[in-house]
Structure 1
Amino acid sequence: MVPDSDETVANTAPSRRRSTVASVARPVQRGATVSAGIYRDLRNDILALRRKPGEAIAEKVIAQDYGVSRTPVREAVLKLADEGLIEIFPQSGTFVSRIPLGALPESIAIRRVLEEASVRYAAQRATRSQIARLRVCLEVQHERETAGDHEGFHQADEDFHALLAEVAGYPGFWTLIQQVKVQIDRYRRLTLPVLGRMGLVVAEHKAIVDAIAAGDPDAAVQALNTHLDDLESTIADAQKANPRYFSVA
């Protein structure tokens, strides 16, 4: 028997497929396919923790919210299951997957390799106007921190790292990173309400920008690694504070 949404077993059996709960869905954007729109909305809700790990996904309710049959909902759910964001328990239900602890260090390692290259190239190539844009990103992050806007801060953080790849001359680096960090994104959002966390991130980002502005690739890489080391070191604290959101698999 599969536990209810707040008691789902952290370690699921290998035979179980991955799958999410229902919240009020948003309209599909014009021109997008129904399935693609539902997939996008569900994915955004899962990554933003509006749909919590372990929460049930009611495909019938989602279909009613969108005014569609269950077929496009099922297509979206299966795609999210392939990404490891949803778990499907045959004969029992569909749930938002818990954050797999074992996957986080590897995802951070992959991200580290790509971002080390980004900041190294950025330090070698950044123009004055690009450095100014990076500093504007820092100001936006600080504003979001001051406002206590966790979701806005997360987006400003994303914009900053995307800009690093752009300044490096390889924006595709960030595209690749986004493909491997979906579980990191969920974990990171759990850390943002922690007192002082957003301010620390801004300070770490500033150190990266200062090194890039100084044209010092080694210092830029060192500052980045300090930033990512800190991200990895807080995983245990996040699990301790939110044990039901993680699986040890």
Structure 2
Amino acid sequence: MNDSNHTGFGGATARSRKPRAPNAPPASHTTIAGTKNSDIVYRDLRSAIIAMELTPGTVINEKELTQRYGISRTPVREALLRLSEDRLLDVVPKSGTFVARIPLSAVREALVARRALEAVTVREATARASESQFIEMRAIIQRQRETAAAGDEAAFHNADDDFHAAIAAAARLPGIWDMIQQIRVQIERYRRLTLPQPGRMAMVVGEHEAVLEAMTRNDADTAVERMAHHLNKLQLDIAVFRDMWPDYFVFDPAVDSELLEE
């Protein structure tokens, strides 16, 4: 474990940066109708882990969770089991429960799958998108530009998702975006590490603009190529971010060497 770990729920250039202290997501005092307590705990913890508010190695205290939510241990344990099955928590006998490190092999597989799926949505959206949908995409990019200028990483991340979702919607293939959401859990944790890098958000805005420009010219081949370039940046920079936060990643030389060489 590294010094950034804490107890409780509460073309890149390598540089040292102390991760921001995780914030505890608010406890859900009012139960949503039809939502089990275990679902609420699962949802809150999952969101905090993916957003890197709870960083790899963070101790998850079962007793503290029961007190925070005012519930028994059974629903808490159910939530923790589901998160373990999602590979977001590690349960270590006689040691405790910890936020899992990011497996590079899962990142690689998810990146390959996402590139293939987004190539389909970009190509179809180029052929099918209406002018109003292109206007919507331009507005999303402008929102990204503004949130980048404000340094609002969370809002920028949401706008980034909105751009990719808008492409899938214009392609009339929204289900593909749902599929991407399901496979990209580990990618999202890694992406959150990259956003604070100086110039990263501005670079993403430029890459999105390049994709949209090709789409509006009805040049599907170029649009797909530019989207692939955009997504490939995440893979190209993995070695740098792994070296910056080695305790955040699981690296198996026999499996992951190819990932760091591509």
TM value normalised by structure 2: 0.86
Contact persistence 1:6–1:244 (CA under 8 A): no
- Percentage identity across aligned positions? 44
> Equivalent residue of 1:120, what SS?
helix
Contact persistence 2:121–2:173 (CA under 8 A): yes
Distance in 2, Cα, partners of 1:181 & 1:192: 16
1:237 to 232, 236, 240: 240
Distance in 2, Cα, partners of 1:5 & 1:179: 31
- The answer to whether the aligner puts 1:226 opposite 2:213 as a matched pair is no
Contact persistence 2:5–2:56 (CA under 8 A): no
Distance in 2, Cα, partners of 1:155 & 1:70: 33
Following superposition, which runs of at least 4 residues in structure 1 exceed 3 angstroms of deviation? Answer: 3-8
Q: Which residue of 2 aligns with 1:12?
A: none
1:163 to 166, 182, 186: 166
- The answer to whether the aligner puts 1:198 opposite 2:201 as a matched pair is yes
**Residue ranges of structure 2 left out of the alignment (5+ in a row):** 11-23, 253-262
Distance in 2, Cα, partners of 1:94 & 1:21: 10
Distance in 2, Cα, partners of 1:72 & 1:149: 34
Distance in 2, Cα, partners of 1:208 & 1:136: 14
- The answer to whether the aligner puts 1:65 opposite 2:52 as a matched pair is no
- The answer to whether the aligner puts 1:91 opposite 2:94 as a matched pair is yes
Distance in 1, Cα, partners of 2:57 & 2:101: 6
Q: Which residue of 2 aligns with 1:26?
A: 27
TM value normalised by structure 1: 0.91
Distance in 1, Cα, partners of 2:248 & 2:183: 19
- Alpha-carbon distance, 1:247 to partner: 1.3
Pairing of 1:1-80 with structure 2 (within 5 A) = 21-23=8-10, 24=24, 25-27=26-28, 29-31=31-33, 32-80=35-83
Distance in 2, Cα, partners of 1:42 & 1:214: 43
**Cα distance 1:153–1:7, how it changes in 2: closer, same or farther (>3 A)?**
closer
**Residue ranges of structure 1 left out of the alignment (5+ in a row):** 9-19
Q: Which residue of 1 aligns with 2:258?
A: none
Please report the RMSD computed on the Cα atoms of aligned residues, expressed in angstroms: 1.7
1:43-93, Cα deviation, whole Å (9 max, x unpaired): 000001110111110011011000000111111111111111011011210
Distance in 1, Cα, partners of 2:229 & 2:223: 10
Distance in 2, Cα, partners of 1:158 & 1:208: 15
Q: Which residue of 2 aligns with 1:176?
A: 179
Task: State which drifts further: 213-222 or 185-194.
Answer: 213-222
Contact persistence 1:5–1:54 (CA under 8 A): no
